[in-house]
Structure 1
């Protein structure tokens, strides 16, 4: 994915480009502070999720440079990545997703030992993720964007560092309008779907592996 050199001038060039869609705030022109948008963890899960006692640590997702900042990404062409003017997430995108992953696991109410990867912290399993797409898409001259979230996950058994399984999680959501608040809401919808699927996938694999280990020991 190539980042356009003009992204550095998002406050000027992109602001003018998106003015007609309502996605560029007047605050950018008036010199007011950048608007911050927050996202939310998944809250509703399958009722039959297993209860886990194992410790799982969550690494910060890997991401290409264009998705590693706190800026809100958009694309009008598969080879170009740009940003909304005067609009940021409340954290870098990888840091925000790591926090929301931890909170999503906690929201299941069926796992206690979950947290960020910390040096010296013993874990039974480690969840490694890679953020591959996280942008608003304005393809084919669309005025209202489709949000795309695509992540890859690998579940690693510790301390052997054996990859038990890997999975791809891709979700989209159409914004309700061209207003930035609705674009952010669509990001929220798509991301929560990805988080929910990733959490359920992880917990079912951990439960299955531990049941198999228990059976073999008998």
Structure 2
């Protein structure tokens, strides 16, 4: 599936102009299954040289309404938000990012426990984050596409709710084409870069530095 600015705008106009029989047709189309895509966790994070007997809970990221969905967001310009037709993420974007971050921390072997909630009702550290960008963007020519991801993270000590460190992470990458598959692969590139940086920073903020890649 390829996308152009005209295709996206036509899709939007069609959705906003529904009435009568058109609305019934749209409801019927809404039951058509969408192709689902998922992102992979970073594959090149090194193993930690030692394991800390500490636990980390990775909280679900917060985000805006446009991103709090399983639809893949694309912006044809700075003020307009649309969704790629016919495709979706395998789960809502914040939950998917939470899963990727959790797996990345686990894969380093740096901590004795990493989960979505504290072990036994209390834990050592919590990662709190907000997703501010997670979208594809059309270039000025209307055909080229790039993806963008930006996350602000805080590492919090659970015992006294003290913020140990705060940092914003961002990454962008061009898509090889404007097909849905190439756009998703571009999302894989940016999420890999961003989550790798986030995990290194997170472990460093609690006293464990990963070896250089």
TM > 0.5 fold call: yes
Partner Cα distance (1:141, 1:37) in 2: 26
Q: Is the 8 A contact 1:50 1:207 kept in 2?
A: no
Shift of 1:15: 9.7
Instruction: Tell me which residue corresponds to 2:124.
Output: 124
Shift of 1:107: 1.2
Shift of 1:159: 1.6
Spell out the pairing of 1:196-215 with structure 2 (5 A cutoff): 196-207=196-207
Question: Aligned residue pairs: how many?
Answer: 190
Partner Cα distance (1:61, 1:128) in 2: 7
Instruction: Tell me which residue corresponds to 2:190.
Output: 190
Larger helix proportion of the pair: 1
TM-score, length-normalised on structure 1? 0.78
Q: Is the 8 A contact 1:14 1:84 kept in 2?
A: no
Partner Cα distance (1:169, 1:91) in 2: 22
Shift of 1:108: 1.1
Q: Is the 8 A contact 1:50 1:203 kept in 2?
A: no
Structure 2 stretches of 5 or more lacking a match?
A: 1-7, 15-28, 209-213
| Dislocated runs of 4+, deviation >4 Å | 46-50
TM-score, length-normalised on structure 2? 0.80
Shift of 1:12: 6.6
Structure 1 stretches of 5 or more lacking a match?
A: 1-9, 17-28, 209-218
SS of the residue corresponding to residue 207 of structure 1 reads coil
Q: Is the 8 A contact 1:42 1:107 kept in 2?
A: no
**Is it true that 1:168 corresponds to 2:162 in the alignment?**
no
